[in-house]
Amino acid sequence: MISSIKPVSSSLTAIAAVRRTVSPKLRVGAYEADRSQPIEIGVEVPDEQSGQKVKIGIYFATWWALNVVFNIYNKKVLNAFPYPWLTSTLSLACGSLMMLVSWVTRVAEAPKTDLDFWKTLFPVAVAHTIGHVAATVSYLSFTHIIKSGEPAFSVLVSRLFLGETFPLPVYLSLLPIIGGCALAAVTELNFNMIGFMGAMISNLAFVFRNIFSKKGMKGNSVSGMNYYACLSMMSLLLVTPFAIAVEGPQMWAAGWQNAVSEIGPNFVWWVVAQSVFYHLYNQVSYMSLDQITPLTFSVGNTMKRISVIVASIIIFHTPIRPVNGLGAAIAILGTFIYSQAKQ
């Protein structure tokens, strides 16, 4: 009996010796594994971060491309049919219908929501509705100059209302981004007070929307795509009565008949394309917002305007000046400085 205990005793002594040779780092890792927390392995973290950057980059490229198409058709529609309240309503209605069909056909998984979710979504929908209509109104003038200041609005709102602070290099990097985009958009300078106020209101409303959307998505299992779908539906309910009150069916009927007589059947396809691409670019933008901070989102939104301006120059044959290229280069440089300052 004693002889059988000795091998066990020797084995326990050997195990103890091995345990004493294990580094504290490895033992801490084992403790974390017992708590079902991910173990950080130095080699895999950069790969994970690189994959995340590629994913966000794809989102940004898709977002910008879809927005370019939307802006082209939006400008065409508003030039022929200057009723921003109706076009805003149609955009939201189209997106809401697309998502309802995708949920019913199970192309996309329907979100699981409750009353608290919709209560939290309501102020976001109010901000989205105000921003959407104001932006549509401002497209009739020099929107991209004013809206290039969105990152500054984002910093201001985050600082005053949420108490967030940013490193000094982040603040400084916003200057070339805003200034460069404004410089690139200088050929669109066609001042009128309605367009100016629309762009300013849109800036402020969208910053609030982005910040509180991000907070809302954090506390729910609803994805960015479905979050924006729910936001569109609630925003549609809010904007419809105002659209009827401000413009009304009689104005719409007369304006529609006039646009179709001047443009022809293509005008209907312009409206459809404007509505579809509005939803698609916003949907992808919310998929981006799900992965990044509201300030980074605002910077991406500002850089998006460079692609919109370039596309407008090509499609609408706006004369190109050296100042436009200089502004774009400055804005791109500012974005690079911002990305480095955030690290």
- Residue 145 lies inside a defined structural domain of this protein: yes
Q: What pLDDT is recorded for position 92?
A: 94
Q: Are residues 4 and 96 in the same domain?
A: no
16 & 149 share domain: no
Whether 231 maps to a domain, the answer reads yes
Output the pTM of the full model.
0.68
Q: Closest Cα partner for 121 from 240, 19, 222, 52?
A: 222
Q: How many domains does the chain have?
A: 2
One domain, residues 180 and 89: yes
Residue 66 within a domain: no
Residues 185 and 115 reside in one and the same domain:
yes
Same domain, 212 and 107: yes
Distances (CA, A) of 70 to 25, 78, 187, 278, 310: 53, 12, 20, 6, 14
**Is it the case that residue 108 has pLDDT exceeding 50?**
yes
Q: Is residue 57 part of a domain?
A: no
Least confident interval from 59-73, 94-108, 178-192, 291-305: 178-192
pLDDT at residue 139, as a whole number = 60
Chain center to CA of 188: 24
3 and 134 in a single domain? The answer is no
* 61's tokens: 């490229």
Same-domain check for residues 130 and 235: yes
Tell me, yes or no, whether 49 lies in a domain. Answer: no
Note whether residue 217 is domain-resident. Answer: yes
pLDDT (tens digit per residue) in 42-92: 444 456 667 777 877 888 888 888 888 888 898 889 889 989 899 999 999
Q: Are residues 30 and 150 in the same domain?
A: no
Residue 17: which domain range?
Answer: 1-35
Question: Do 299 and 156 belong to one domain?
Answer: yes
Distance CA 138, CA 205 (A): 14
- Tens of pLDDT, residue by residue over 11-40, are 445 444 544 444 444 343 333 333 333 334
For residue 331, being part of any structural domain is answered with yes
26 and 144 co-located in one domain: no
Determine the Cα–Cα distance for residues 151 and 157; give it in Å rounded to an integer. Answer: 10
53 within domain boundaries: no
Residue range 253-270: mean pLDDT, rounded: 93
In this structure, are 91 and 175 located in the same domain?
A: yes
Whether 123 and 9 share a structural domain: no
d(CA 154, CA 203): 9
Q: How far is CA 262 from the centre of its chain?
A: 35
